[in-house]
Amino acid sequence: MTRAARPVQPRRPVRKPGSVGRPIEGVEFKLVDDEWVEVAEGEVGEIAIKGHNVMQGYLNKPEATAAAIRDGWFRSGDLARRDEDGYYFIVDRAKDKIIRGGYNVDPREIDEVLYEHPAVSTAAVIGVPHAVQGEEIAAAIVLNPGSEDELQSYVRERVAAYKYSRIVWDH
């Protein structure tokens, strides 16, 4: 009497720290620039996805659909790089910009400056509506005890005048 063969378990995929992995079966990824042109290996581009799991479009919004989907490829809004093994590493958001008085400000740049200061425990920079500037830069921060006074001048010394947070929420 013979025993039935046990099913072979698929090998576990390699995990790479910081990576979101590779596309699942039946799904394709590529990295594109603003003109939908594929970027070179190792360069940062926006993830475009094609596969059975991608939406067909935005309901009653043909312009938004045309901007987000081309030839079945959907722009995810995630900026990433791909390594030589096909693993993707998200580095930023494509639409995560604050437009203050006509200037584009990357919140991540301000976040990084805030995190350099020893007083900052946690920080998040966002845009909030402003009647004159369009958007104003706001920072929600958690400070380490006893270090509240010096932070604003620290940031002002390290970024352009239009980039520093005029609104700061300390928790």
Domain ranges in the chain are 27-93, 98-170
As a whole number of Å, the CA-based R_g of the chain is: 22
Tokens 């993830």 -> residue: 47
* Of 167 and 27, more confident: 27
pLDDT, the chain, mean: 83
d(CA 57, CA 94): 19
Half-sphere exposure of 45 (CA within 13 A, CB side): 21
The rounded percent of the chain whose pLDDT value lies above 70 is 88
CATH of span 27-93: 2.30.38.10
Above 60 in pLDDT, residue 6?
A: no
Sign of the alpha-carbon dihedral angle for 25, 31, 37, 41:
negative
- Identity of the residue numbered 67: A
Contacts of 95 (CB under 8 A, 6+ apart): 77
pTM of the prediction?
0.56
Overall average pLDDT of the 135-152 stretch? 79
- Identity of the residue numbered 112: E
CATH of span 98-170: 3.30.300.30
pLDDT at 50: 95
Q: Decide: 44 and 79 in contact? Cβ < 8 Å.
A: yes
d(CA 100, CA 112): 19
Contacts of 52 (CB under 8 A, 6+ apart): 26, 27
